[in-house]
Amino acid sequence: MRSSSWTPVGPAVTPSAVLTLVGVRLRLRAGADAGPVVSWADRLRAELDRTPDLTGYALRFTGGSLWVVSAWSRRTSLAAFERGALHTAAQRELRPLLRPPVVVVWRAAPADPPPSWEEVRRRLCAAGERTRTRLGNR
């Protein structure tokens, strides 16, 4: 899988809309093969390109982690994608290969530029630190 820059999807949304952005970091467990993660990421990318109310996304695989960021104009469409057959199958198959995911959600205006990888990484690292603190550094 090659990393992708921001990929716009779907029609433009009204300037008064509020987008829901989702950042996800999926880290491989020690010794796990990255092949299935890369394969599923490519399949899910094709699904994302057809998903309603998704305004854009980017994926990046580096350092044993798959980083994903997406922007949605409707949370119901985000929830439908998460519950969809392909995403559910990917979760089921990849769960043994991955550490628990780190997920962060924030809001942005359609006029805001797409988030940089630096911003996504900062948000996810902060969320991961909060999770480790809350769980007692398991």
pLDDT digits (tens, 9 = 90+) for 103-125: 999 999 999 999 999 999 999 99
| pTM given for the model | 0.88
**Residue 90, SS3 per DSSP:** helix
Q: What percent of the chain has pLDDT over 70?
A: 91
Which CATH number is correct for 7-134, 3.40.50.300, 3.30.70.100, 3.40.190.10, 3.10.620.30? 3.30.70.100
Longest dimension (CA), the chain: 47
97-126 burial, b at 16+ Cβ within 10 Å, e below that, comes to bbeebbebeeeeeeeeebbebeebbebbee
* Beta carbons within 8 Å of 14's beta carbon, 6+ residues apart: 110
pLDDT at residue 11, as a whole number: 80
